[in-house]
Structure 1
Amino acid sequence: MLVVHAVWAEGALVLWAEDSAGRAVTGSRAAVPAHPFSADADSLRAALVGAVGRAAAAVEPVSLVVSLPGSDRHPLPSPALVPPAGSPAVPSPVLRRWRVAGVAVRAGAAGLLAALRDCAADGLAVGPGLAHLCAVHAFAEHLVAAARVAPLVVGVPPCLRWRPLLAGADAAYFAELCAALPPSAHAHLDPGEPPSADVQVHAVLCALVDEVARERLGSAVPPGAAPWTAALTGPDARLRGAGARLAGELREAFDAAHRVGRPRLLLRLVEPEEEAGGDAWSLELWVQSAVDPSLRLPLRDLWRGEGGAWLGPEAEAAALRELDRAARVFSPLARAVEELAPDTVRLSLREAHAFVREAAPRLDAAGVTVLLPAWSGRSALALELTVHDRVPAGRGGLGVDDLVDFSLEAVLGGQRVDLEELAELARLKQPLVRLRGRWTMVDPGALQRTLELLRLRGRGRMRRSRAVALAVAPSAGLPVPVESVRADGALGALLGGDCEHRLTPLETPPGFEGELRPYQRRGAAWLRFLGDLGFGAILADDMGLGKTVQLLALLADERARGVSGPTLMVCPVSLTGNWLREAARFAPGLRVRLHHGPDRPHGNDLARLLGSTDLLVTTYGVVSRDVEELAAVPWRRVVCDEAQAIKNSTTRQARAVRALPADTRIALTGTPVENNLGELWSIMEFANPGLLGPAAQFERAFAAASAEGEDGARAAALLRRRVGPFLLRRLKTDRSIIADLPDKQEMRAWCTLTPEQASLYRAVVDEMAERLDGADRVRRRGVVLGALSKLKQICNHPAQFLGDGSALAGRSGKLERLEHLLGEAVAVGDKALCFTQYTAFGDRLAPYLAEVLGCEVLWLHGGTPRSRREEMTRRFQESAEPMVFLLSLKAAGTGLNLTAANHVVHVDRWWNPAVEDQATDRAFRIGQRRDVQVRKLVCVGTVEERVDELIERKKALAESVVGSGEEWLAELSVAELREVVRLSPEAVVG
């Protein structure tokens, strides 16, 4: 694993990394020895490109000297680094200089930090210095987006640079960033006299603000812009021919911007009156309080001496300075600058259009408030699609090739426009037009193309799949987008998000072992229908509702119908065992293969394997590495499980799965949107490539979807229309779903081992075999019980077995699975109980889970005082916040009422059903009003799986046969023990 560190050195972002495969001890006596864990520059560059793609392509190798704690001969490894075996301990660390290999980013640092900030690549960890720089970059993006930046002339030769304006909450957050600066972020500086944290952070913030602002403003600059405009937006910041006057004015404006209470200029565009001509537009000049932006005053009142008291004595001078600055962005304002007491600027129709389209965004970015008419931010010209479904409303099911009747109408500014009106508007060729007393913007070229479309192909019949594409795609090959849809019948149900209930539910297919619940039959039918239409699907059912079962039912149905072609299942490493076991349980007739590890087939061997495979299970890491080979396969279907793994569209694994061709695609996820709409776009781009248009266009179009008001409601409705037909989400809180569920769901959560776990596991098994040779009955019993305890600890975590206090993250498949399960529960506001029989492991697990999950984790064990036990129980029951309660099985298996939880996870097994059931009953008891989901974590191919099978077979005989804990296992023969504890190949993935 690589732990990537970062410093800001001489105006460049410099990255270096520690590698867990590095040498354990350095033997160098050089004045500045090489860091023994430092990754070489080529390896670091390859890892970065693999994680974030093109954002890391422009790095160049450098050498860096850093001061790090350690001994004279060995540096202390990063806490995130798992040191190699044999690494010496470092008592009383001191600072020592070490030489590391790194890579520098001199242009594009902001883009790389943005990509790394959202990166979740396997084998790559973010060190504290890099994490801090990512936080500074996020702050820079916030300042630019909020227009809290201003230009300054700096350096020799003079250059125009964007600089942050820090006041109020922004200044407070900047102080927090300075206080959080980690030592590794300035390890390259002289440890004797490092600059203060605020100087270091401010230098980085200035550089990132300048880069972010240029990136965002560059595309808005028209050709032939003034030299100073080009210097503020282009790659060359040198100021040519402006002189010291501009430098002084910018410095004065910059200093004034930091003064508390400084009023701001506000420009308000006013439409012409009904009887006035198109050239009677006006731009009213107002002044706005910086302390309370709701306080506004027309400049005409300010000149009359009215209302200026709350603006301060500098209001008039500040307004004129702001007006002069705004005139450099929008030249018609120069007419007001020349007036003695300006209050309004008259604009022609052409000038009004230029102000809305070009000047307003640039003025807003420069800190001038702009108020535009409500119609200015909308797509004025659009189409309305009306579809009449030929399938009778009472007929069950929908046909893929059924024809539908359709018609298209033009909509301008929210009003329908007939062909005659459209033809007249096209003849005028004006970018701003008045329709039925309301002004609106329109592209004359798009208007002409729309007129031609409606005349030639405005109505008729089409296939249902084409109608769906027109209804949801941004443009679908049309001159303007379809903004609204009216549909009846079965197609109306599909587009309205009610298709699931209109389809004929899928009957339990031949070869499927199990009973599908009604909502699962509907979900499987929905997946099949969208696939037959040629569309992808996002099945986003709540955790525990059976997404795996619905997909397996679909595959079993296709096999029974003779549908050919392999399905590729892409999932996290920790879930490969889960898919293999669940497929064997529910659809034993499916031909399922695991494609992972160094011995996985390639070339012709892979082709032959796929000829006899229905479901090939692989991981995101394998797809990233073998994308070219896997992309050459004609897949029937590609499925992404835990599809939030591709929520960042720029990562290597997201690009890799999108590159796989398939007849249809399915994304399985319980959390389609975790942080922002860009995540939904990324998952939809996998399921239905191109359907939502480019990412930037999508985010701009739906940025208001979460806002209140008319614009937010309109954007949210449009988002539902475009995404709704392809996204099915059912919640456990839905009464129709709850009626389908039993009171208590018990299930296995299958886990895999990491290579480190597998190595330790084999060593314990070999040791047990040696010690059993010739052992008498009493000694044999002790050997078996001791080995079984060690194997259970290894399955939990290597650190628990080793007892060395080493890092927890990234070393246990079971811990990764536990994090995921609890993360899903917490994300929807649920509470969970976790049981472990190991108090020492719980001591480390509780704080770790609290940090990872971002919520409180209570920990109750045998040493917890009674008063503390009662207080924790009360808080867990009464708190409204999501929470995790970690409990020792012995201390908390009975006597507690914890009905606030509706999730129970058994981290390690007691191997006694009665004891586990007693623990589960802490949540599933009188007073519980919700269904309880019980998950038992089991490592596949290990003693945990085989004992679980033995328990299930013997469960009918209860404790009379099974006994208590591991005791009964000691009575097995040597041959039986070997079979129980052997490590299967599928146990380890990594």
Structure 2
Amino acid sequence: MQVLHAVWDGNKGGLFLWAESSTMPTAVPKSRGRKPKKPKIKTHPFALPATELRELIGDISDKTCLKSAKFEKRTFLLPSTQKGPLPSPWLIREDEDDYGTDKATGLAGWNIEALLFEPYSAFNFLVGLPEQPSRGFAFGSSLRFWIGAAKFSLELIARQQFTPSIKVGEHDFRAAWEAVITEEDSERVQALVEAMPPSCRAFSDKDKSQLLSPAGLVLSFVNQTVDAFIRESLASTSLLPPRRGRRPKVVPLLEQWLSALSTSTGNTVLTAPAEVLSTFYSELQAWLTQLQPVAPDAPFRTCFRLEPPSASDLGLESESESGNVENWEVRFFLQAKDDRSLLVPAEKVWKARSSTLTFLKRRFENPQEQLLADLGNASRTFPAIEQSLQTARPEGLELNAEQAYSFLRESAPLLEQSGFGVLLPSWWEKPAARMGVKLKLKPASGKSGASGKVETSGLFGVRGIITYDWEVAIGDETISENEFEQLAGLKVPLVRVRGQWVELRPEDVETAIEFFKKKHGSGEMTLGEAMQLGLGGGAEAVETEVGLPIVDVEAEGWLEDMLDSLSKGEGVKMTPIKAPKTFKGKLRLYQIKGVSWLAYLNKFGLGACLADDMGLGKTIELIAFLLHERSSVSGKRGKKFSIAPTLLICPMSVVGNWQKEVERFAPSLKVMIHHGADRLTGKKFGREAKKNDLVICTYALAHRDEDTLSAVHWQHIVLDEAQNIKNPAAKQTQAIKKLKATHRIALTGTPVENRLSELWSIMDFLNPGYLKSAQHFRTNFALPIEKYRKKERAEVLRRIVQPFVLRRVKTDPKVINDLPEKMEMKVYYNLTREQASLYEAVVSEMLDRIENSEGIERKGLVLATLMKLKQICNHPALFLQDGSILEGRSGKLARLEEMLEEVLAEGDKALIFTQFAGMGAMLRHYLQEKLGGETLFLHGGTPKKQRDVMIQRFQSDLQGPPLFVLSLKAGGLGLNLTAANHVFHFDRWWNPAVENQATDRVFRIGQKKNVQVHKFVCIGTLEERIDQMIEQKKELADAIISAGEAWLTELSTEQLKEVFTLSHDAVEPS
């Protein structure tokens, strides 16, 4: 494991990167002789050396960032013990003395070889890092902090919130670009300051006065990265007009300043007499003040409200008439910052007879002085305000249509950026406030009956054909060519049409003229394109073709019902489906809605992604859907229907789980497992597959057996753990997308909307072409959302994807009321070949010894056999005690890792119980390395002080470790760990009382969430058979509780053989 850290030098400007490694030797050289008065600073014992650090950074980032980077040896203050520096929480070292928190002596300086990045390279490096590092690598808290700060800088740049300025040094003046921090941005800066980890200020500076405060450090970083980015962008651009004639001997100061703003380094010193420099600086600051937030600390601010003329002002008899539009008004108010709805009209301000105004039980100090000062500042941004300042008590000003339009388009955004309140008419931000196209969507002929109901099933998909008509519209109203000519003749930017205010842009008028000339009318598009338009997305393509924005979309028939229903998530018009008689179980209300949703999308051939939280029953919903489909077909009289088999592709670790769930809830479904060396291929596979309802296959075989699987046209292709196709370029993904099916379904427990590349790949599998190409998606959604934080693009994506993704979370009120407070579930898995070989060897040896023994010796052998088989089911390395690698050797560990990925993706916390301290240590190492976050481990040898610290961090620290491994005996009693809402029993004690006591660490008073308890059971082994015995013989409960596992020693040798012997379905097929 390697952990990367970052420290920003706020004075000199630069980012220092350094890393810890779990493989570096830790021995700190011991000092010889007499102890010096001033201890010598030692080299950090497990910091990565310079050359390896450069290689590491090159592996995780764009190597161009390294070109200007250089090494420096710096001294950093780090938490330390008498033995040396404490390792980061993410770092697990073989020689560490656990956490060592009870022996920490404080901060100590350590010499470290660090890589220094200049601001521009640092900025590019930070914004280019992935959300999650690769396995075996972790981002330290300081690096994560500066990644967040860099994204904030990027947002400011994207919003063009920067200005040219002058940086005043001790003896010089230099040109610089500075970020403009608005009132809202100030809250972001404060949040960053409060979140700054101490490691960000790890400098050991001789002059302590030079160290910046956290706020100073954040602003230094933001300003210097913004400055570096703008300079680099202007490197080949001159801000000066071409020079005529000779260059003067003395370059004017203004020219020096403008020229220096576009140099790449920012080291150019402005030269001029001191008085000239001082005057220039003062004038520049005065000019810049209009862009800075007004009185950021004041409890109230000046607000401007634009009010359009009413119908009576226009001389109209009713609000629905049209007319010319003059006499707009901007009114002035004071607005409370903590309650934006509290507005004090200017006339009330001027009537105040003292320096304090009381309005609606609120006190405003010096309101008149504040209002006048703000109006003066605002007049620099919106000059029309100056006319109102000619009166002693300005309350507002009148505007004509052109001035009102200028206010809406230009001045209002600038006033908001300057910290003023601005209230605009609600229609201004709506698409209908502009002239555009009204689109009418209709099902193509033959696809719907007279009633508008769909006659066929699953024949459409996103590539089905839809017809459309379009007309020029203003607001919600379509207009004829004659009406348009009348409006165009007004030649004003804002017009009132049938009671609605509308923006009439000159370019829209010209485009509409061409539209009428070309007689645009009707055409065809795909159902996918129609859905995007009807759901509020995809307008760009139509704007490009027609040249006008879409202001309204109407649909007819079943298409109208579908768009209306799908836009509301689970759908208000979807008929609830009753669980078929062949379903052996009970569906909760939200599960019925999930099954109904799957059936509804299937009716239109639309792929569906069921992305419910882990534990809400996606498997059950899919099984119920398959049963419903078969019962619906068999119920139709007079016709012969046959349904093709469904192909389920899933990870190897859940094949057994699917088998067990289908056996339990749908015993009528015929299931075929396609795996193993003796699996069928070619025509034999096709014939056998058609005899079954469900064929289960793994992701690995989807590519290897592509030809065999492609020979069958499947009814459904279902992907469980669909994030396995997140890489669209992978051969596995491409092979799966080529398979033929009437309908496609994806199941995933992770919130796919948080990983846009994964979302595109899953959506392209479900509904090919709906989100267009990967490059188009990256350009139009991924980059604007992930890199530039464009909220409007995120909202468009949400609208067009929402119909195909159903995600319910455990905290949803519609779900939580339908859930028990504690849900217990079995997690079935298979042994690997290695585990099976060890298992059979132990059973063969121990059964012979048990059969030839008796009394206490026999009981001891039985218990020893149980222990060995448990260890093998956990992991071969636990049984062999050889310190060998963990990955890829245990079916149980693979399944735990997959489930914990979902837990972490949902932001939840989990406890993992094991009765083996050695297994706990392995789990801590493995999970910390593979999942990239800190994992705690509590066992019988953990000192009380360390134990208390770990519990406090897990319970109280929101950013603390999300996973806690506990040995059953050490953590099964006396602890309050209600921060977790998942409990994993990695190995079984086969004593319900002991397991329940462990579960009660979470499920107890103070728990605010529903608790999920996951108990691992290995198919075909003693784990499954003993679990079945306990379930079937509830009367044994009292005996079991009192005797622990000793009751198993009373079984006969034949019974033990039945319990221990490995069945054929226990092993992962090869």
Task: Please give the range of the TM-score, normalised by the shorter of the 2 chains.
Answer: 0.5 to 0.7
Tell me how far 1:659 sits from its aligned partner: 4.7
Tell me the distance in 2 between the aligned counterparts of 1:239 and 1:483: 57
- Unaligned 5+ segments in structure 2 are 32-40, 242-253, 271-276, 316-322, 358-363, 544-548, 634-640, 678-697, 882-891, 941-954, 956-961, 974-979
Tell me how far 1:492 sits from its aligned partner: 0.7
1:440 aligns with 2:511: no
Residues 145 and 196, structure 2, Cα contact 8 Å, conserved in 1: yes
CA 243–825 in structure 1, closer or farther in 2 if over 3 Å, else same:
closer
Which residue does the alignment assign to 2:20?
18
The letter of the residue matching 2:531 is: V
The letter of the residue matching 2:750 is: Q
Which residue does the alignment assign to 1:546?
617
The letter of the residue matching 1:481 is: I
Residues 912 and 963, structure 2, Cα contact 8 Å, conserved in 1: yes
The letter of the residue matching 2:730 is: V
Which residue does the alignment assign to 1:948?
1024
Tell me the distance in 1 between the aligned counterparts of 2:579 and 2:143: 53
Which residue does the alignment assign to 1:747?
825
Tell me the distance in 2 between the aligned counterparts of 1:391 and 1:212: 62
The letter of the residue matching 2:988 is: R
Tell me how far 1:441 sits from its aligned partner: 1.7
The letter of the residue matching 1:644 is: T
Which residue does the alignment assign to 1:864?
none
Which residue does the alignment assign to 1:184?
199
Residues 266 and 369, structure 1, Cα contact 8 Å, conserved in 2: yes
Instruction: Specify the SS of the correspondent of 1:367.
Output: coil
Residues 593 and 615, structure 1, Cα contact 8 Å, conserved in 2: no
Residues 574 and 752, structure 1, Cα contact 8 Å, conserved in 2: yes
Tell me the distance in 1 between the aligned counterparts of 2:655 and 2:58: 26
Which residue does the alignment assign to 2:166?
153
1:530 aligns with 2:601: yes
Q: Choose the corresponding residue for 1:421, options 483, 504, 509.
A: 483
Which residue does the alignment assign to 2:750?
644
CA 551–193 in structure 1, closer or farther in 2 if over 3 Å, else same:
farther
Which residue does the alignment assign to 1:45?
57
Residues 828 and 1018, structure 2, Cα contact 8 Å, conserved in 1: yes
CA 474–112 in structure 1, closer or farther in 2 if over 3 Å, else same:
farther
Q: Choose the corresponding residue for 1:95, options 73, 98, 108.
A: 108
Question: What TM-score do the two structures reach when normalised by structure 2?
Answer: 0.61
CA 209–645 in structure 1, closer or farther in 2 if over 3 Å, else same:
farther
Which residue does the alignment assign to 2:376?
323
Percentage of identical aligned residues: 25
Instruction: Specify the SS of the correspondent of 1:353.
Output: helix
1:63 aligns with 2:63: no
Tell me how far 1:202 sits from its aligned partner: 1.3
Q: Choose the corresponding residue for 2:671, options 579, 589, 601.
A: 589
Which residue does the alignment assign to 2:286?
249
Tell me the distance in 2 between the aligned counterparts of 1:902 and 1:71: 35
Residues 750 and 905, structure 2, Cα contact 8 Å, conserved in 1: no
Which residue does the alignment assign to 1:655?
757
- Unaligned 5+ segments in structure 1 are 667-682, 707-714, 804-810, 862-875, 877-882, 895-900
Tell me how far 1:938 sits from its aligned partner: 0.8
Which residue does the alignment assign to 2:449?
390
Which residue does the alignment assign to 1:478?
542
Instruction: Specify the SS of the correspondent of 1:694.
Output: helix
Residues 231 and 239, structure 1, Cα contact 8 Å, conserved in 2: no
Q: Choose the corresponding residue for 1:205, options 211, 215, 219.
A: 219
Tell me how far 1:979 sits from its aligned partner: 5.6
Tell me the distance in 2 between the aligned counterparts of 1:615 and 1:168: 45
Question: What TM-score do the two structures reach when normalised by structure 1?
Answer: 0.65
Residues 765 and 982, structure 1, Cα contact 8 Å, conserved in 2: no
Tell me the distance in 1 between the aligned counterparts of 2:365 and 2:1001: 65
Which residue does the alignment assign to 1:104?
117
Tell me how far 1:15 sits from its aligned partner: 3.4
1:129 aligns with 2:142: yes
Q: Choose the corresponding residue for 1:468, options 511, 527, 531.
A: 531
Tell me how far 1:664 sits from its aligned partner: 1.8
1:938 aligns with 2:1040: no
Tell me the distance in 2 between the aligned counterparts of 1:214 and 1:473: 38
Instruction: Specify the SS of the correspondent of 1:65.
Output: strand
1:909 aligns with 2:988: yes
The letter of the residue matching 1:421 is: E
The letter of the residue matching 1:4 is: L
Tell me the distance in 2 between the aligned counterparts of 1:504 and 1:293: 43
Instruction: Specify the SS of the correspondent of 2:451.
Output: coil
Residues 657 and 828, structure 2, Cα contact 8 Å, conserved in 1: yes
Tell me how far 1:5 sits from its aligned partner: 1.4
Which residue does the alignment assign to 1:375?
427
Instruction: Specify the SS of the correspondent of 2:863.
Output: helix
Residues 574 and 751, structure 1, Cα contact 8 Å, conserved in 2: yes
Tell me the distance in 1 between the aligned counterparts of 2:330 and 2:813: 55
The letter of the residue matching 2:825 is: M
CA 164–796 in structure 1, closer or farther in 2 if over 3 Å, else same:
farther
Tell me how far 1:978 sits from its aligned partner: 7.9
Tell me how far 1:630 sits from its aligned partner: 3.6
Which residue does the alignment assign to 1:274?
314
Which residue does the alignment assign to 1:712?
none
Tell me the distance in 2 between the aligned counterparts of 1:884 and 1:87: 20
Tell me the distance in 2 between the aligned counterparts of 1:767 and 1:185: 53
The letter of the residue matching 1:537 is: A
Which residue does the alignment assign to 1:6?
6
Tell me how far 1:550 sits from its aligned partner: 3.8
Tell me the distance in 1 between the aligned counterparts of 2:536 and 2:94: 52
The letter of the residue matching 2:71 is: S
The letter of the residue matching 1:65 is: K
Tell me the distance in 2 between the aligned counterparts of 1:419 and 1:106: 58
Which residue does the alignment assign to 1:866?
none
Instruction: Specify the SS of the correspondent of 1:909.
Output: coil
Tell me the distance in 2 between the aligned counterparts of 1:514 and 1:562: 21
Tell me the distance in 1 between the aligned counterparts of 2:44 and 2:1002: 58
Matches of residues 444-523 of structure 1 in structure 2 within 5 Å?
444-446=506-508, 456=519, 458=521, 467-476=530-539, 477-479=541-543, 480-481=549-550, 483-485=552-554, 487-489=556-558, 491-493=560-562, 495-497=564-566, 502=574, 523=594
CA 730–605 in structure 1, closer or farther in 2 if over 3 Å, else same:
closer
Tell me the distance in 1 between the aligned counterparts of 2:723 and 2:441: 42
CA 267–214 in structure 1, closer or farther in 2 if over 3 Å, else same:
farther
Tell me how far 1:6 sits from its aligned partner: 1.4
Tell me the distance in 1 between the aligned counterparts of 2:303 and 2:346: 10
Matches of residues 689-838 of structure 1 in structure 2 within 5 Å?
694=781, 722=800, 725-728=803-806, 747-750=825-828, 777=853, 778=856, 781-782=859-860, 785=863, 788-789=866-867
CA 351–832 in structure 1, closer or farther in 2 if over 3 Å, else same:
same
Which residue does the alignment assign to 2:87?
77
Tell me the distance in 1 between the aligned counterparts of 2:290 and 2:551: 46
Which residue does the alignment assign to 1:807?
none
CA 111–547 in structure 1, closer or farther in 2 if over 3 Å, else same:
farther
Deviation string 1:370-389 (CA, Å, 9 cap, x unpaired) is 33333222222353646586
Tell me the distance in 2 between the aligned counterparts of 1:693 and 1:588: 45
Q: Choose the corresponding residue for 1:664, options 766, 770, 773.
A: 766
Tell me how far 1:773 sits from its aligned partner: 10
1:356 aligns with 2:442: no
- Measured on the aligned residues, the alpha-carbon RMSD in Å equals 7.3
Deviation string 1:108-141 (CA, Å, 9 cap, x unpaired) is 7567656769547654433232244456568879
Tell me how far 1:621 sits from its aligned partner: 7.6
Tell me how far 1:8 sits from its aligned partner: 0.7
Tell me how far 1:393 sits from its aligned partner: 6.5
CA 123–577 in structure 1, closer or farther in 2 if over 3 Å, else same:
farther
